[in-house]
Amino acid sequence: MRIIPAIDIIDGKCVRLSKGDYDTKKIYNENPLEVAKEFEDYGIQYLHLVDLDGAKSKHIVNHKVLEQIATKTNLKIDFGGGLKTDEDLKIAFENGANQITGGSIAVKNPETFLAWIHTYGPDKIILGADANNEKIAVSGWQEESDKELIPFIQEYQKERVAYVICTDISKDGMLEGPSFTLYKRILEETKELNLIASGGISTFDELPKLAELGCEGTIIGKAIYENRISLKQLENYILNS
């Protein structure tokens, strides 16, 4: 299972929110590149970079942070937050994204999202299936849609989607443990899905459990920043996997 630390960006700084609420913003580092380099020093190869300003303003904003991390580390970056147009996508890939994550766009403008999959291929485009009470949430989690989580994923699987990041919003940033039951159901009801678990990771012991369920990757945010999981533990996990 891939270990994918998260860096969320507001005003060019590394922050974390609780349940996607911008009013709960906590700044962990003024310099995201510094954080990314530290991850790399501990053998981490992947990064989940979220442009929270972009998610709010509905277009890419922090592409300079993406470019900086992409040019000064070897991390494979998946980038999301506010990607709405072909131009946003072009900017993200030109600035060093290895993959991009589309969430709101897949709900509100499926034609554009499907065109991205067909243009760039399913290995480059991740479906962001973020849910509250198993209903898909959009616009930086500020809105809930009427889309049911598992049917939403299944529909996009028919369109060649191979990677899905699923965040249970009620768990995100709460350090209360991930939604094991939900991930188990998703993996039972879909076939050959690369499911990346996100939200709620609080202790190192949860990682082997997610791997056992069949998650292809897991995104870890606040647990690292609050020293619940050490980078040394992650380094050892990666070396022994």
CA 58 – CA 140 distance, rounded (Å): 9
Q: Which residue has the tokens 């999202």?
A: 113
Query: Quick one: DSSP state of residue 77?
Result: E
- Torsions phi, psi of 174, nearest 5? -95, -15
Structural tokens at position 106:
């897949």
Is-catalytic flag, 86? Answer: no
Sequential DSSP letters for 75-109: -EEEEESS--SHHHHHHHHHTT-SEEEESHHHHH-
Catalytic residue among 8, 51, 53, 168: 8
Is 130 catalytic? The answer is yes
Q: Which of 51, 130, 168, 172 is catalytic?
A: 130
Active-site residues, by number, are 8, 130
